[in-house]
Chains A and B, each alone.
Chain A
Amino acid sequence: MGTGLYTQLLDLACGVFLIAAVLVLWYRELSAIVRVFAMQGVALGVIGLLLGLHEQRWGLVGIAVGVSVLRAGVLPYLMRRSLTAAGQTRETQPLVNVAASLLTAAALTLLAYAAAQPLVQLAPSPATRALPVGLAVVLIGFFALVTRRRAISQIVGFLLLDNGITASAFLATSGVPLIVELGVAFDLLLAVLVLQLLTLRMRTAFGDTDLDDLRELHD
């Protein structure tokens, strides 16, 4: 693969990755949000794959395949299942409306570019130049997490944040060592299972998964 083609494909994958995060803020249908999240998982897998092929590191190719299976397959499947179980399809009015959310996403992306400058300059390469995309998705995920009110869209926010971190790890260092990567994947899967179970319990206890109902505990 030529360097020019590699750079173009990598930038394309990173673009799709960022746009998927923005689309999560755009959509109100919960099932569409899950679909977009799955698409982002594919883009993340492609980023890892391209890096692995370019640097001819076959371990990384394997990790990229594993990452796509987990994030584009298993996690969206689990979320779809808990959507059917919870019987809800739409995000209620989020705390920040869609237009303002998109503007915030733009501002957060600029912030990520500014904050990542020292990181890019440490070792300029096509991969590290795309590093701000990973940080932008981390920030957008955090924003989605704090402004969304459905349990499932909060989980998606958390997973966006996590995808952003994985992408940063790929782009900065071609991934962390395998044992850490395995630990991360395992913990992520368990965290989602825990959250899914809690969603069900919440439904039993509250009859709903609107997080505004969570107001028993306060000072």
Chain B
Amino acid sequence: MLNLFGVDLLLSLPLAVPALTAACYALPGRRPVTGWAGMLSPAAILTSATTLAATVPGHGPVRAWGHLLRADALAVWMLLVVGAIATLAVAAGPAYLAGERDAGTVGDIAARRYCLLVHAFLTAMALAVLAENLGVLWVAVEATTVVTAFLVGHRRTRASVEAAWKYVVICSVGIALAFLGTVLLYYAARQAGLSEAAALDWPTLAARAHQLDPDTTRLGFGLIVLGFGAKAGLVPLHAWLPDAHSQAPAPVSALMSGVLLSVSFTAVLRYKVIADAALGTGFARLLLTGTSLLTLALAAGLLLAQRDYKRMLAYSSMEHMSLIALGAAVGSPLAIAAVLLHIAGHGLAKTVAFCSAGQILQLRRTTRIGRLRGLLGQAPTLGAAFGLAVVALLGLPPFSLFASEVGIARAGFAAGLGVPISAALFLVLAAFAALVLRSTRMLLGPPPTVPTGTGAVSPPVRIGATAAAPLLLGLLACAALGITTGPLTDLLHTAATVIGGH
């Protein structure tokens, strides 16, 4: 059993280390940026998460700093996801920065700013996951918008300024609506007799949610789904996502897609517990099913017409987020376990996909699918990593997205949601076809010839071990999760009961 001081330290670690790392990058000085020092913060997040994963399922939630931080099984699971993806994305950072430096697009100052913002982003994500107070959760999610805006717009081209503008405006509006929803729930909670301190405290609110006024809660939860849904890439405020994901540096796209979307969606999961208790499960189910099917239809349609591989990956993120929303709509413990597994698997696979797409971009200088041929021939390791990541995203075994998609479908049929689940499977099939067609086009075919015109095939390009290691590690982790959840099984089931325990 952890003593009190140990808990304080353990829960502060994932916040303090990234914050301090960010502060170090902010210090003035002319030292060259060493990317590997940045590995400290993902290591801190993972250390804290694994220690908590060993204790929380047995001993129940732990608290630190009064009512500020709290780790229940859901928070620990998300912390593990944040830590794992951060490890891959931060490890991919030095190779990315070296590539940009060679191309002359990133100087010393820009590299420092990049590192600073990435670590500030990790701090905000860890806070969002560990916050007990729903207001603090909101502040942390909103902070990510501000932090990542400069990462999206870092290249200062017309396209990236446009993407950053859309990103800040749409996400700020969305998150402002989520704040209005939070205020309405706070109002309902105060009228139900909760004290000022307890009215936004998640465990208290969840325990007394049945006393909340249904009309106010309904309006509040609708705004919450709209608002946090905007940051999770769900319809109708999704328009920022393909632009921002295609313009951001590859490791940042990976973090946004793997961590930011799913952490925002966990906020919806937390509010869903309250809404279910106050309104019955019907309202949240209707709202989430509708949103997820609309998002899925849009993503599948745009995937079919896609000609840019980074945008293709962005729409695939929307596809997976809508599956996650559909699983949440089903809401049984089995469905929530599948949702959480899907969050982890999608995060890992998408990180590998985006990081390898970033290297493909540095290799070929184009994001058009039509101009890429024979990647496997030209750069075998890179092509294989990208191809395997797409295979994982398609939901094929042994990768964990297979297990979680089957889990969501099974839970959906068991809960009597056969029609929406069938519709979703049909749309997923369309997305599957689009992804297969586009990526085989990129990977197969003859490798490009040497531009001298002799027709000779250029020798295969090797990517260095530092660039290849994160890709390989991500694929391995995703496959391992698909075969067994091993020591994490308890944690996953406890987390599923926290949200789906009705």
Partner of A180, one of B136, B159, B246: B136
Q: Please report the C-alpha to C-alpha distance between residue A191 and residue B179 in the assembled complex, in whole angstroms.
A: 15
CB distance from B308 to the nearest CB of A (A): 8
Residues in B with CB closer than 8 Å to A115 are 219
Q: Please report the C-alpha to C-alpha distance between residue A204 and residue B159 in the assembled complex, in whole angstroms.
A: 13
B135, A176: Cβ atoms closer than 8 Å: yes
Q: Please report the C-alpha to C-alpha distance between residue A123 and residue B187 in the assembled complex, in whole angstroms.
A: 10
Residues in A with CB closer than 8 Å to B186 are 169, 172-173, 176
Knowing that A145-B169, A161-B176, A183-B139 touch, tell me 9 more A-B residue pairs with CB under 8 angstroms. A118-B219, A119-B184, A161-B173, A168-B180, A172-B184, A172-B187, A183-B138, A191-B142, A217-B243
Q: Which chain B residues in 449-484 approach chain A with CB under 8 Å? A: none
A122, B187: Cβ atoms closer than 8 Å: yes
Secondary structure call for the A interface: helix
B161, A198: Cβ atoms closer than 8 Å: yes
Q: CB of A64 within 8 A of chain B?
A: no
A184, B179: Cβ atoms closer than 8 Å: yes
Secondary structure call for the B interface: helix
Q: Please report the C-alpha to C-alpha distance between residue A122 and residue B184 in the assembled complex, in whole angstroms.
A: 11
B153, A179: Cβ atoms closer than 8 Å: no
Contacts A123-B191, A173-B190: A205 and B139 contacting too (C-beta < 8 A)?
A: no
A176, B183: Cβ atoms closer than 8 Å: yes
Residues in B with CB closer than 8 Å to A201 are 153, 156, 161
Question: CB-defined interface of B170-197 with A at 8 Å, one 1/0 digit per residue?
Answer: 0011001001101110111011000011
B200, A173: Cβ atoms closer than 8 Å: no
Contacts A138-B180, A165-B180: A183 and B311 contacting too (C-beta < 8 A)?
A: no
CB distance from A85 to the nearest CB of B (A): 15
Partner of A177, one of B173, B196, B247: B196
- The size bracket of the interface on A is 35 or more
Residue of B187, B196, B305 with highest tally of chain A CB at under 10 A:
B187
Contact residues of B with A, CB < 8 Å? 133, 135-136, 138-139, 142-143, 145-146, 149-150, 153, 156-159, 161-166, 168-169, 172-173, 176, 179-180, 182-184, 186-188, 190-191, 196-197, 200, 213, 215-216, 219, 242-243, 246-247, 302, 305-306, 311
A169, B183: Cβ atoms closer than 8 Å: yes
Residues in B with CB closer than 8 Å to A219 are 242, 302, 305-306, 311
Partner of B157, one of A145, A194, A198, A205: A205
- Supply 11 A–B pairs (Cβ within 8 Å), ascending by A: A176-B182, A177-B196, A177-B200, A179-B136, A180-B139, A183-B135, A183-B139, A191-B142, A215-B162, A216-B162, A217-B242
Contacts A177-B197, A180-B200: A118 and B183 contacting too (C-beta < 8 A)?
A: no
Q: Which chain A residues in 188-219 approach chain B with CB under 8 Å? A: 190-191, 194-195, 198, 201-202, 204-206, 211, 214-217, 219
Q: Please report the C-alpha to C-alpha distance between residue A119 and residue B197 in the assembled complex, in whole angstroms.
A: 21
Contacts A173-B186, A191-B145, A194-B146: A202 and B165 contacting too (C-beta < 8 A)?
A: yes
B161, A118: Cβ atoms closer than 8 Å: no
A168, B168: Cβ atoms closer than 8 Å: no
Residues in A with CB closer than 8 Å to B143 are 187, 190
B176, A165: Cβ atoms closer than 8 Å: yes
Residue of A nearest to B244 (CB): A217
A195, B302: Cβ atoms closer than 8 Å: no
B153, A198: Cβ atoms closer than 8 Å: yes
Q: CB of A101 within 8 A of chain B?
A: no
What's the count of A-B pairs with C-beta under 8 Å? 132
Contacts A177-B196, A180-B200: A191 and B146 contacting too (C-beta < 8 A)?
A: yes
Residues in A with CB closer than 8 Å to B242 are 217, 219
Question: CB-defined interface of A132-156 with B at 8 Å, one 1/0 digit per residue?
Answer: 0000001000100100000100100
Residues in B with CB closer than 8 Å to A11 are none
A173, B183: Cβ atoms closer than 8 Å: yes
CB distance from A47 to the nearest CB of B (A): 14
B161, A122: Cβ atoms closer than 8 Å: no
Q: Please report the C-alpha to C-alpha distance between residue A186 and residue B124 in the assembled complex, in whole angstroms.
A: 14
Residues in B with CB closer than 8 Å to A186 are 139
Q: Please report the C-alpha to C-alpha distance between residue A108 and residue B133 in the assembled complex, in whole angstroms.
A: 33
Q: Please report the C-alpha to C-alpha distance between residue A145 and residue B165 in the assembled complex, in whole angstroms.
A: 13
A145, B173: Cβ atoms closer than 8 Å: yes
Q: Which chain A residues in 92-139 approach chain B with CB under 8 Å? A: 115, 118-119, 122-123, 138
B136, A183: Cβ atoms closer than 8 Å: yes
Q: Please report the C-alpha to C-alpha distance between residue A214 and residue B168 in the assembled complex, in whole angstroms.
A: 14
Contacts A145-B169, A202-B161: A119 and B156 contacting too (C-beta < 8 A)?
A: no
